C-alpha cells in the first residue's frame, strides 16, 4: 500500500477530515499526479486517512493511503511545494501492514490554567486517570452512551508548569477509538476544580499492538 | 495565532473559514507595503470565495507593488457573537489584523440583502459606519459590484462607488490613494480627485431634493462632480487580467471548482434581467487564450471540475471548438467539464447530454413564464417546443429529473399565464410517459417560482411590483392546478422579495432605515436562519417610510429616478422602447442577429459591438 506520513499544524488544524481529503486529492493533481479513480458517473480519486483527525487537533503522525494507476515517483518535496501552510509531508513510502494493526495513539494535552494550576491538580488528575471506572458520554454505534473509558487509556504521564499541565497519554486508536477530548471531559466531571480553561490537543505517534511505531 | 481566537475557534461552526492560510493566498512583508486594502465581501466565506469579481480584483491589487490586499468575509452568527463577547475586532484572513489597521476598506456587493452585513462588518471592525464620521484619509470605504448601480440606499455610509468593471479602475483608485497618502491630502481633496476618475460616483457630492409627494425633485451635483457617471468596461477581454494562480480554499465553498469566464455581457436582452443590460456590450475572450487559462487554472488549483461561466454560455461564439478542446484535455485527466446556463437549443442540448452533466443534477430550464405570450413580453427566447424536445431526448436516454424555474408577478401577467406553467408541466409529464426508457424509476419534476422584483437599468425599472397578497394568490392558483401530486413545487417567500424590491430601487432616505434595521439586529438577511421581516417592518415604521412607495407604487415614466445619475451605457430611450414592446408582446432580436441600438456600443472605442 502506498502511504504518506504528514503533519498538520498551525492554521491547517481547523480543516475537517473531509477538507483534508479534498485538499490532498487536489494537492496530488497540483503535483502532476493523477490518482486511481473509482468507476461510475462521478469517479472519485482514491485517498484515505488511516485515522480521521478531529478539527482543532494538531498532529505530526497522520498517515494517508492512496492508489495510482501507473508507477509515478513522488517525493515529500513534490507534495510540500503544492501544500498550504501547516500541512507537510514527512515521508512517502510503501507498507504491507494493514491499517487495522494501528491500535494505539500517543497524544499530548496541553492544559492551560489562566489563574495558575490549582495546588495538587497534577497529582489528582494522574490518580483519576489511573483509577477504575471513568464514565463519560461517548458516541458509540448505538448513539451517545455513558462509557467507561478507563480501559482505553493505556499509559499517562504528567508534567506541571506554572500555568499549564502537560498530559501525554497512550490511548486506544481504533476499536474502540478514544477522542482525547474525552480525557478533558473526564477531568471536568470528576475533578471540576481542576478543569483547565483551554486545552491544546496534539497527536504525537501511532503504534501497533506490540507498542512498535506503526507505518 | 491570537490566543483569544484560538479559544474561540473550537466553539464555532466551520472554523477553517476564519483562519486563512490557504494555498496561493497573498502574504506580503508589511515593511514593504504602503497601502493596505481590506477587501470585504458582505456574505460568508463560502459565498465570497466563489465570487469571480473578488478573485480578479484581489489579484489586480496584489499585483501592485507596495499594495497588500487581504480578504474579509461576514462571520456567521456564532462567530460574530464570540468576536463581540471577546472584544476581538473583525480581522482580515491573511494577516489577522483588525479592519481598523487598513488604509482602504473595499466592498464588493452583488445582492441587496447583504447591505446590513456591510454596516455590521464596519461595526465589527471598529470603523465608523457613516462616511461623514470618518474624517481623515484612513479608512476610506468604497464599493463596487452589481449593487453599485443603484448606490443610494448605501449613500450615507460609503465614500465612493466604483462602477462597472474594475480591472483598470481599481488600480487607478489605489494609485491615487497612494499619492494622497504620501502627500498627506485631506479626505476631501482625495474624494475630489477620485471623483474625476471615469466611473467613480461620490455620493456626498450630490444633493437630493424631494417633491411633496415624496418623489425625487432634483439631484444636484456639487463640487464640479459630473452630472452623470458612466460605468467602466474593459475594451478587450483578452487584455483583462484573469488570475490563474488563485486561492484554493481549505474548506468547501459554494462553487468548489475552477471557473473560466468565457465572455462578458449577454446578447439576449431578457427584459427582467439587470445583468443582461448592465454588462453590455457582449465581449468574448478568444478560445486560444481560454484554453490556456483553463489548463493553468486546473494545474494550479488541482480541481477536478471546471465551469465555463458567463451570463449565457451557449451564446459564446466559439463554444463548439472550445468545448471540444476542453473535453480533449479533461477526459483523460478525469476532469469534469460543466456548463451552466445552457439554452435548450440544438447544439447545447447535444453538448449537455454528451457531457453527461445532467446525470448528476438533472435537466434545468428557466422558461420564467408559462405562456409563449408572456415569454415574448419578457423577451425570454425559449420555446415550449425546445423544452419538450430536449426532455424527450433526455427521457429516452434514461434521465428522469427536470427542474423548472419561473417568476410570478411579471408585468402583463394574467391568470392564464400562471396556469400556463401548470400546462407546461403537464406536457413534460406527458412527454415522459411517451418517451421514458425506464418508467419504473418514475419522474421527478421540480418547479420553483420566484416573486418578480423590478430592477433598475431594465425595461421594467418603472413597473409596479405586485402586492404580496396577489403574489400568494397566484402561487396558490398554480399550486391548486399542478397536474400531479408528484410534482415538487417550491415558491419563494414574499417577504424577502418585497424587501429586495425596496432596496433595489431605493433612494437615499433608505439609509436611515438600513441603519435602524442594523441597530435592531438585522444581519445575514439572505439567510433564512437570520432573516427577520418584522425587524425591517419595525425599522420602516420607526423611520416613517412606507415600503409600498418603492414596490407597488411603481415609478412614473417621467419621474426622476434615484439612479438616473448613473449610466451603464444603455440609453433610457432604449429601455422605454423595450418596455413598449413588452406591452405589445413583441420580442427584440438578439445582438448577434441584429443590433437594436441600445447605446452600449458607445462604450467601445470603435463604437461597434462584436456580438
Ligand atoms: S449596441 Fe446593439 S449590438 Fe451592442 S449591445 Fe446594444 S443592442 Fe447589442
Report CB contact under 8 Å: A25, B16.
no
Provide the 10 A C-beta neighbour count for residue A170. Answer: 18
pLDDT, one tens digit per residue, over A90-130 is: 999 999 999 999 999 999 999 999 999 999 999 999 999 99
Best A8, A15, A179 member to test B by mutation, with max B CBs in 10 Å, is: A15
How many domains does chain B fold into?
2
Measure CA A113 to chain center.
23
CA distance A208 to A102: 5
Say if residue B82 is in the same domain as residue B136.
yes
Measured in Å, residue B595 CA sits from the centre of ligand 1 at 5
- B463 domain-assigned: no
Say if residue B233 is in the same domain as residue B353.
no
Measured in Å, residue B201 CA sits from the centre of ligand 1 at 25
User: Considering only CA atoms, which residue is closest to atom 5 of ligand 1?
Assistant: B281
Q: Determine the longest span between alpha carbons in chain A, in angstroms.
A: 62
Report whether B22 contacts A84 (CB < 8 A).
yes
Measured in Å, residue B597 CA sits from the centre of ligand 1 at 6
Say if residue B325 is in the same domain as residue B352.
yes
**pLDDT recorded at residue B61:** 98
Question: Is the peptide bond prior to A176 cis by the omega test (within 30 degrees of 0)?
Answer: yes
Report whether A4 contacts A66 (CB < 8 A).
yes
Nearest CA in chain A to B22: A84
Report whether B377 contacts B582 (CB < 8 A).
yes
Strand A58-66 with A2-8, pairing: antiparallel
Specify the ligand 1 atom closest to the Cα of B601.
1
A21-47 residues labelled b (16+ CB within 10 A) or e (exposed): bbbbbbbbbbbebbbbeeeeeeeebeb
Helix H or strand E encompassing B567? strand B566-567
pLDDT, one tens digit per residue, over B508-530 is: 999 999 999 999 999 999 999 99
- B526 domain-assigned: yes
Residue from A8, A179, A61, A10 nearest A109 by CA: A179
Partners of B253 on chain A (C-beta within 8 Å) are none
Say if residue B172 is in the same domain as residue B66.
yes
Report CB contact under 8 Å: B359, A41.
yes
- B10 domain-assigned: yes
Say if residue B560 is in the same domain as residue B584.
no
Say if residue B195 is in the same domain as residue B231.
yes
Reported as half-sphere exposure (CB side, CA atoms, 13 A), residue A124 has a value of 15
Report whether B237 contacts B262 (CB < 8 A).
no
Burial class (CB in 10 A: 0-12, 13-18, 19+), B392: middle
Q: Confidence class of residue B361 from pLDDT cuts 50, 70 and 90?
A: low
Q: Counting every residue, how long is chain B?
A: 611
The Cα of A38 is separated from the nearest Cα of chain B by a number of Å equal to: 10
Q: Confidence class of residue B362 from pLDDT cuts 50, 70 and 90?
A: confident
Nearest CA in chain B to A38: B334
B601 lines ligand 1 (CB under 6 A): yes
B8 lines ligand 1 (CB under 6 A): no
CA distance A146 to A130: 19
**pLDDT recorded at residue B358:** 46
Q: In this model, does residue B341 exceed pLDDT 80?
A: no
pTM of the model: 0.94
CA distance B337 to B290: 14
- Interface residue ranges in chain A relative to chain B, Cβ cutoff 8 Å: 10-12, 14-16, 18-19, 22-23, 25-30, 32, 34, 37, 41-43, 45, 55-56, 82-86, 198
- B380 domain-assigned: no
CA distance B157 to B491: 34
**pLDDT recorded at residue A133:** 87
pLDDT, one tens digit per residue, over B447-482 is: 999 999 999 999 999 999 999 999 999 999 999 999
- B525 domain-assigned: yes
What is the pLDDT averaged over residues B550-566?
A: 97
The single residue listed with the C-alpha cell 460568508 is B44
Specify the ligand 1 atom closest to the Cα of B611.
3
Report CB contact under 8 Å: A26, B20.
no
Partners of A34 on chain B (C-beta within 8 Å) are 333-334
Mean pLDDT computed over every residue of chain A? 93
Between B581 and B483, where is the model more confident? B581
pLDDT above 70: percentage of residues in chain A: 98
Specify the ligand 1 atom closest to the Cα of B282.
5
Q: Given A12, A22, A32, which is nearest B21 (Cβ)? A: A12
Nearest CA in chain A to B3: A198
B596 lines ligand 1 (CB under 6 A): yes
Say if residue B270 is in the same domain as residue B231.
no
Which residue range(s) make up the domain with B586? 257-361+569-611
Say if residue B559 is in the same domain as residue B573.
no
Q: Confidence class of residue B314 from pLDDT cuts 50, 70 and 90?
A: confident
Report CB contact under 8 Å: B302, A15.
no
Say if residue B174 is in the same domain as residue B83.
yes
Provide the 10 A C-beta neighbour count for residue B439. Answer: 12
Nearest CA in chain B to A82: B23
Angle between helices B384-396 and B346-355 in degrees, nearest 10:
30
**pLDDT recorded at residue B545:** 97
Report CB contact under 8 Å: B252, A18.
yes
Between B185 and B331, where is the model more confident? B185
The Cα of A69 is separated from the nearest Cα of chain B by a number of Å equal to: 12
CA distance A79 to A136: 40
Best B13, B23, B303, B358 member to test A by mutation, with max A CBs in 10 Å, is: B23
Report whether B313 contacts B341 (CB < 8 A).
yes
Residue from B553, B456, B539, B563 nearest B504 by CA: B456
Report whether B253 contacts B574 (CB < 8 A).
no
Map residue B381 onto helix, strand or coil: coil
CA distance B557 to B462: 7
B278 lines ligand 1 (CB under 6 A): no
**pLDDT recorded at residue B391:** 86
Nearest CA in chain B to A86: B21
Mean pLDDT computed over every residue of chain B? 94
- B411 domain-assigned: no
Cell of B250: 481549505
CA distance B99 to B78: 19
- B408 domain-assigned: no
- B278 domain-assigned: yes
pLDDT, one tens digit per residue, over A34-76 is: 888 887 666 778 899 999 999 999 999 999 999 998 888 999 9
Q: In this model, does residue B340 exceed pLDDT 80?
A: no
Mutate to test the pocket of ligand 1, among B271, B457, B600, B610 (most ligand atoms within 8 A of CB): B600
List, as one string, the DSSP characters of B1-53: --HHHHHHGGGSS-GGGGS---BT-----GGG-SEEEEEEESS-HHHHTT-HH
Say if residue B516 is in the same domain as residue B587.
no
| CA dist list (Å): A154 to A104, A136, A173, A210, B461 | 9, 17, 11, 12, 72
The full set of domains in chain A, from first to last, is 2-96 (3.30.70.580), 101-207 (3.30.70)
Model ipTM value: 0.93
Say if residue B34 is in the same domain as residue B171.
yes
What is the pLDDT averaged over residues A173-192?
A: 94
Task: Provide the terminal-to-terminal Cα distance of chain A, rounded to the nearest Å.
Answer: 11
Q: In this model, does residue B356 exceed pLDDT 70?
A: no
List, as one string, the DSSP characters of chain A: -EEEEEEE-GGGGGS-HHHHHHHHHHHHHHTT-PBPB--SSS--B-EEESS---TT-EEEEEEEEE-BSS-----HHHHHTTSPTTEEEEEEEE----GGG--EEEEEEEEE-TT-PPTTHHHHHHHHHHSS--EEEEEETTEEEEEE-GGGEEEEEEEE-SSEEEEEEEEE-SSS---THHHHHHHHHH-GGG--SEEEEEEEEEE-TTSPBP-
B192-230 residues labelled b (16+ CB within 10 A) or e (exposed): bebbebebbbbbbbbebeeeeeebbeebebeeebbeebb
The Cα of B38 is separated from the nearest Cα of chain A by a number of Å equal to: 20
Report whether B423 contacts B370 (CB < 8 A).
yes
Cell of B269: 436582452
What secondary structure letter does DSSP report for B302? Answer: -
User: Considering only CA atoms, which residue is closest to atom 1 of ligand 1?
Assistant: B601
Measured in Å, residue B291 CA sits from the centre of ligand 1 at 27
What is the pLDDT averaged over residues B261-272?
A: 95
CA distance B128 to A141: 52
The Cα of B336 is separated from the nearest Cα of chain A by a number of Å equal to: 9
The Cα of B246 is separated from the nearest Cα of chain A by a number of Å equal to: 13
* Least confident stretch, A94-103, B220-229, B268-277, B378-387: B378-387
User: Considering only CA atoms, which residue is closest to atom 2 of ligand 1?
Assistant: B595
Burial class (CB in 10 A: 0-12, 13-18, 19+), B150: buried
B591 lines ligand 1 (CB under 6 A): yes
Partners of A86 on chain B (C-beta within 8 Å) are 21
Report whether B314 contacts B322 (CB < 8 A).
no
pLDDT, one tens digit per residue, over B35-92 is: 999 999 999 999 999 999 999 999 999 999 999 999 999 999 999 999 999 999 999 9
CATH code, domain carrying B598: 3.30.750.210
Mutate to test the pocket of ligand 1, among B267, B589, B597, B606 (most ligand atoms within 8 A of CB): B597
Angle at B143 between CA B141 and CA B149, to 5 degrees: 145
CA distance A67 to B513: 58
CA distance B416 to B419: 5
B414-425 residues labelled b (16+ CB within 10 A) or e (exposed): eeebbbbbbebb
Say if residue B558 is in the same domain as residue B575.
no
Amino acid at each position: 500500500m502506498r502511504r504518506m506520513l504528514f503533519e498538520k499544524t498551525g492554521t491547517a488544524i481547523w480543516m475537517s477530515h473531509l477538507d483534508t481529503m479534498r485538499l490532498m486529492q487536489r494537492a496530488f493533481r497540483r503535483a502532476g499526479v493523477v490518482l486511481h479513480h473509482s468507476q461510475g458517473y462521478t469517479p472519485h480519486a482514491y485517498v484515505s486517512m488511516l485515522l480521521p483527525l478531529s478539527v482543532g487537533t494538531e498532529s505530526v503522525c497522520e498517515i494517508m493511503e492512496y492508489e495510482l494507476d501507473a508507477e509515478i515517483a513522488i517525493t515529500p518535496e513534490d507534495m510540500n511545494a503544492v501544500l498550504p501552510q501547516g500541512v507537510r509531508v514527512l515521508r512517502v513510502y510503501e507498507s504491507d501492514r494493514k491499517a487495522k494493526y494501528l491500535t494505539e495513539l500517543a497524544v499530548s494535552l496541553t492544559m492551560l490554567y489562566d489563574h495558575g494550576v490549582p495546588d495538587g491538580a497534577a497529582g489528582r488528575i494522574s490518580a483519576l486517570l489511573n483509577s477504575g471506572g471513568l464514565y463519560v458520554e461517548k458516541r458509540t454505534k448505538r448513539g451517545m452512551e455513558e462509557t467507561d473509558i478507563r480501559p482505553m487509556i493505556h499509559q499517562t504521564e504528567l508534567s506541571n508548569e506554572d500555568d499549564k499541565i502537560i498530559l501525554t497519554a497512550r490511548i486506544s486508536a481504533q476499536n474502540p477509538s478514544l477522542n482525547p477530548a474525552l480525557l478533558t471531559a473526564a477531568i471536568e466531571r470528576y475533578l471540576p476544580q481542576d478543569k483547565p480553561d483551554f486545552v491544546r490537543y496534539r497527536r504525537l505517534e501511532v503504534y501497533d499492538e506490540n507498542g512498535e511505531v506503526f507505518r | 495565532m491570537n490566543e483569544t481566537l484560538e479559544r474561540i475557534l473550537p466553539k464555532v461552526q466551520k472554523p477553517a473559514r476564519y483562519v486563512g492560510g490557504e494555498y496561493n493566498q497573498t502574504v506580503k512583508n508589511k515593511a514593504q507595503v504602503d497601502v493596505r486594502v481590506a477587501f470585504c465581501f458582505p456574505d460568508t466565506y463560502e459565498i465570497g470565495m466563489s465570487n469571480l469579481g473578488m478573485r480578479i480584483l484581489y489579484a489586480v491589487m496584489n499585483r501592485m507593488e507596495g499594495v497588500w490586499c487581504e480578504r474579509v468575509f461576514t462571520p456567521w452568527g456564532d462567530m460574530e457573537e464570540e468576536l463581540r463577547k471577546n472584544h476581538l475586532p473583525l480581522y482580515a484572513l491573511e494577516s489577522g489584523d483588525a479592519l481598523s489597521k487598513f488604509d482602504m476598506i473595499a466592498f464588493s456587493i452583488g445582492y441587496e440583502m447583504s447591505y446590513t452585513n456591510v454596516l455590521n462588518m464596519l461595526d465589527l471592525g471598529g470603523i465608523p459606519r457613516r462616511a461623514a464620521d470618518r474624517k481623515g484619509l484612513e479608512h476610506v470605504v468604497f464599493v463596487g459590484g452589481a449593487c453599485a448601480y443603484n448606490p443610494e440606499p448605501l449613500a450615507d455610509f460609503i465614500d465612493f462607488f466604483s462602477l462597472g468593471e474594475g480591472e483598470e479602475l481599481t488600480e487607478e483608485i489605489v494609485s491615487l490613494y497612494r499619492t494622497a497618502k504620501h502627500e498627506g491630502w485631506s479626505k476631501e481633496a482625495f474624494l475630489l480627485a477620485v471623483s474625476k476618475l471615469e466611473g467613480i460616483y461620490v455620493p456626498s457630492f450630490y444633493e437630493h431634493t424631494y417633491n411633496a409627494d415624496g418623489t425625487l425633485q432634483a439631484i444636484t451635483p456639487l463640487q464640479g462632480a459630473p452630472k452623470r457617471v458612466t460605468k467602466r468596461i474593459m475594451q478587450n477581454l483578452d487584455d483583462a487580467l484573469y488570475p490563474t494562480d488563485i486561492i484554493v480554499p481549505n474548506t468547501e465553498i459554494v462553487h468548489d471548482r475552477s471557473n473560466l469566464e468565457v465572455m462578458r455581457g449577454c446578447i439576449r436582452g431578457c427584459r427582467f434581467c439587470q445583468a443582461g443590460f448592465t454588462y453590455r456590450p457582449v465581449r468574448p475572450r478568444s478560445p486560444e487564450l481560454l484554453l490556456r487559462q483553463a489548463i493553468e487554472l486546473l494545474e494550479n488549483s488541482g480541481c477536478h471540475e471546471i465551469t465555463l461561466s458567463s451570463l449565457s454560455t451557449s451564446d459564446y461564439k466559439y463554444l463548439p471548438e472550445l468545448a471540444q478542446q476542453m473535453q480533449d484535455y479533461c477526459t483523460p485527466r478525469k476532469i469534469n467539464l460543466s456548463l451552466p446556463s445552457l439554452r435548450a437549443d440544438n447544439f447545447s442540448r447535444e453538448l449537455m447530454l454528451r457531457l453527461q452533466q445532467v446525470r448528476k443534477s438533472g435537466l434545468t430550464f428557466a422558461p420564467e413564464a408559462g405562456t409563449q405570450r408572456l415569454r415574448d413580453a419578457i423577451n425570454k427566447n425559449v420555446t415550449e417546443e425546445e423544452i419538450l424536445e430536449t426532455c424527450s431526448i433526455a427521457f429516452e436516454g434514461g434521465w428522469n429529473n427536470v427542474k423548472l424555474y419561473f417568476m410570478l408577478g411579471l408585468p402583463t401577467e394574467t391568470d392564464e399565464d400562471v396556469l400556463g406553467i401548470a400546462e407546461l408541466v403537464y406536457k413534460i409529464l406527458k412527454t415522459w410517459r411517451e418517451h421514458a426508457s425506464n418508467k419504473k424509476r418514475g419522474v421527478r419534476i421540480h418547479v420553483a417560482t420566484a416573486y418578480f422584483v423590478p430592477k433598475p437599468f431594465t425595461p421594467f425599472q418603472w413597473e409596479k411590483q405586485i402586492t404580496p397578497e396577489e403574489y400568494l394568490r397566484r402561487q396558490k392558483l398554480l399550486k391548486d392546478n399542478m397536474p400531479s401530486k408528484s410534482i415538487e413545487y417550491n415558491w419563494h417567500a414574499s417577504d424577502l422579495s418585497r424587501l429586495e424590491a425596496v432596496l433595489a430601487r431605493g433612494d437615499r432616505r433608505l439609509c436611515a432605515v438600513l441603519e435602524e434595521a442594523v441597530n435592531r439586529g438585522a444581519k445575514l438577511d439572505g439567510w433564512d436562519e437570520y432573516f427577520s421581516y418584522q425587524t425591517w417592518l419595525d425599522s420602516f415604521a420607526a423611520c416613517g417610510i412606507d415600503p409600498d412607495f418603492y414596490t407597488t407604487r411603481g415609478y412614473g415614466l417621467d419621474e426622476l429616478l434615484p439612479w438616473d445619475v448613473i449610466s451603464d451605457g444603455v440609453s433610457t430611450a432604449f429601455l422605454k422602447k423595450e418596455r413598449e414592446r413588452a406591452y405589445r408582446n413583441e420580442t427584440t432580436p438578439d445582438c448577434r442577429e441584429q443590433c437594436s441600438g441600445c447605446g452600449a456600443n458607445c462604450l467601445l472605442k470603435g463604437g461597434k459591438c462584436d456580438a
